[in-house]
Amino acid sequence: MNGWVGRCLRVNLTEGRHTVEELNPALLETFLGGRGLGITVFSHEVSPETEPLSPENKLVFSSGPLVGTGAVTGASCNVITMSSLTGTIACAKMRGHFGAEMKYAGFDMIIVEGKAETPVILSISNDTVRIIPALEYWGRQTSETEDMFKKSLDNQWAARETFLVSIGPAGERQLPMATIINDRFLAVGGAGIGAVMGSKNLKAIAVKGQHSLEVADGDRFVQVVNTLINKLNSAPLTSQSMTQWGTAFLVGLCYQKGILPKNNFQQSSVSLKNISTDALENAFALRSRGCFACPIACIKKTDMKHHAYEGRGMVPTYLAIGSLGANCGISNLSAIGMANMLCADMGLDPVAVGGTVATLMELVEKKIATAEELKIDLRFGNENAVLDTLRLIATKKGHAQRLGPGAKAIAESYERPDVFMGVKGLPLAPFDPRAIQGMGLHFATCNYGPHHLYGYTFIDELLNVHEDSDPSGIEGKPALTKRYQDITAVMDSLGLCNWPLMGLKFKNFVPMVNSCLGTHYTADDLLLIGERIWNAERLFNMKAGLNASDDILPKRFTDEPIADGPGEGQVSRVNEMLPEYYRERGWDEHGKPLPETVKNLGLED
């Protein structure tokens, strides 16, 4: 097979055995692989009524067909399961090297089911699959786990080629905001997935492989990749901003448009001086680190210029600066970097945990919760309190016990659900939807909860890469949001990272896909696959009990105008856009896909 390996590894932890299965070629054609294939397999095998933390839930690791072939930015492995935070289907994007190594080990997909009696590590080396007892790893941070596992291998050269995904203490204790950590990178959008892995007593998965991947037309493929690299080099965002600062360069731009939130979305004017790209360069020695086959290398290593943080973790991305920083009132990059590193070590999702802390901070500010009662001074801007909380949150001890269940539960326990700034149980990614309307619509409708990395509308709304789109206007936004949601879905399924869209058009990828897979897709064919995936996820969520009433933004965004800053006076007009969005998608007024839409996409049961 070209691109695909065509095999799937199924591991049953209850019985401690594994089987190797062939993938269905018809499904590969209609869902490609990665996210699409993972969603289909998952929704066929797991009932939407399943309790997320029960042994009946499954964990699907699914690499796209372009991963590991040398396709530009082909590194993405998706993890699909039912999230314990949102109760929806969840799909985390894991980049780094794990996905490629999984394919070299001979598997497109790994399905983990059941529950081990005691902690285990799943080790895959070519065709040898072993389930190793891992009691001594339990309770360890993710970086320790990785070091320990590599030391335990007798061949140091094999250890260098082994890549690991693991959960930290947060995942072991099944915290709903736990994510999984891949090769010391965070898995984005993974809130709740770490808890599922923890509930299976699975501490880590290690892979290493030496099988070959085939591409259909090697000469053409190499040519196309050359062209794409050159194109990325001639685009300013991918060749300069992203390479130099990673996504952190968005901080300044978002601030200028009033999109960067402060203090749990109550204000928008932060002191930019301390978190701008200049400050980033002063706080860290930036060294680029690339995911597999990525010419951009947007991930930055931190050789922090501070004795306490020397050489560990990664430089905070936009997500971390926004969620753990500005939205908690913190504007000290060293503290944000430390918080981000703690998240990676503990296995916490920065968006979910940042939103949780910010929610509690607002309750303290409004004098609903008090410092005496919490035994910690969680005011906006108190960086030490945030760092203490992050260290303790995974232990479920002391004051941190209160934070364990997540932002929504905290707000509800104080009978103030209005201070929870999130949709479907997940706190909002740091984009104020009042100042960027298309993103607001995406936040309301996204199948996984409000995460900007499942619909890159800001590429047009904020960066104006492909078309000039005014962030405050609503004209054409439903179509724009739909388009980006579909593009993201299909690129995740192919195994491509979505950031190159800052320099390339979606249609630029099509020749690479075809020369690699030996197919004859057009850009529209691929977008249709994206639409099919989006609808399949929607249908699963609806069976799990979600409906149009879950497609709403918190009242603060629709009723209270932004108080200050460049976006002052704006509110989100998501309710005006929703009917048109539903029409664009071919859904009825309650957000349910119409029978003919389902039929056209081939999604009937």
Partner 1 sequence: MPRIKIDHVKCTGCRHCETACSLNHVANTANPRRSRIRVMRDGNRYYPVISGPFVDAACTSKQLIEIEGQHYDMCAFCRASCPEKPYFIEAETGIPLKCDFCGIPPSPSCVRWCNTGALELVED
Q: Does 521 participate in binding partner 1 (rule CB under 8 A)? A: no
| Nearest of 249, 177, 195, 232 to residue 410 by alpha carbon | 177
String marking each residue 95-134 x if it binds partner 1 according to CB under 8 A = --x--x---x------------------------------
Q: Does 548 participate in binding partner 1 (rule CB under 8 A)? A: no
String marking each residue 460-499 x if it binds partner 1 according to CB under 8 A = ----------------------------------------
User: Closest distance between partner 1 and the C-beta of residue 219, in Å?
Assistant: 9
Binder among 115, 211, 379, 416 for partner 1 (CB under 8 A): 211
How far is CA 380 from each of CA 18, 207, 357, 369, 377, rounded to the nearest angstrom? 49, 42, 9, 13, 9
Residue 536: is it exposed, middle or buried by C-beta count within 10 angstroms (0-12/13-18/19+)?
A: buried
Q: Does 386 participate in binding partner 1 (rule CB under 8 A)? A: no
Residue 268: is it exposed, middle or buried by C-beta count within 10 angstroms (0-12/13-18/19+)?
A: buried
Q: How many residues bind partner 1 (CB under 8 A)?
A: 39
Query: Which range, of 106-114, 215-223, 455-463, 519-527, touches partner 1 by CB under 8 A?
Result: 215-223
Q: Nearer to partner 1 by C-beta: 293 or 374?
A: 293
String marking each residue 564-593 x if it binds partner 1 according to CB under 8 A = ------------------------------
Find the helix or strand (DSSP H, E) in which 113 lies.
strand 109-113
Query: Which range, of 204-212, 253-261, 268-276, 556-564, touches partner 1 by CB under 8 A?
Result: 204-212
String marking each residue 131-170 x if it binds partner 1 according to CB under 8 A = --------------------------x--x----------
Find the helix or strand (DSSP H, E) in which 219 lies.
helix 218-234
Structure tokens that stand for 9 in this block: 């590894």
Binder among 217, 568, 576, 580 for partner 1 (CB under 8 A): 217
Structure tokens that stand for 319 in this block: 């997500």
User: Which stretches of 395-500 are assigned E, i.e. beta strand?
Assistant: 422-423, 426-427
Residue 439: is it exposed, middle or buried by C-beta count within 10 angstroms (0-12/13-18/19+)?
A: buried
User: Which stretches of 475-541 are assigned E, i.e. beta strand?
Assistant: none
User: Could you count the other beta carbons within 10 Å of the beta carbon of residue 304?
Assistant: 21
Binding to partner 1 (CB under 8 A) within 311-340 occurs at 311
Q: Nearer to partner 1 by C-beta: 26 or 157?
A: 157
Rg of the chain (C-alpha set) = 22
Q: Nearer to partner 1 by C-beta: 178 or 225?
A: 225
Binder among 210, 282, 384, 575 for partner 1 (CB under 8 A): 210
Find the helix or strand (DSSP H, E) in which 19 lies.
strand 17-22
| Nearest of 276, 283, 270, 275 to residue 309 by alpha carbon | 283
List interacting residues with partner 1 (CB under 8 A). Answer: 2, 68-70, 97, 100, 104, 157, 160, 210-218, 221-222, 225-226, 229, 232-233, 243, 287-297, 301, 311
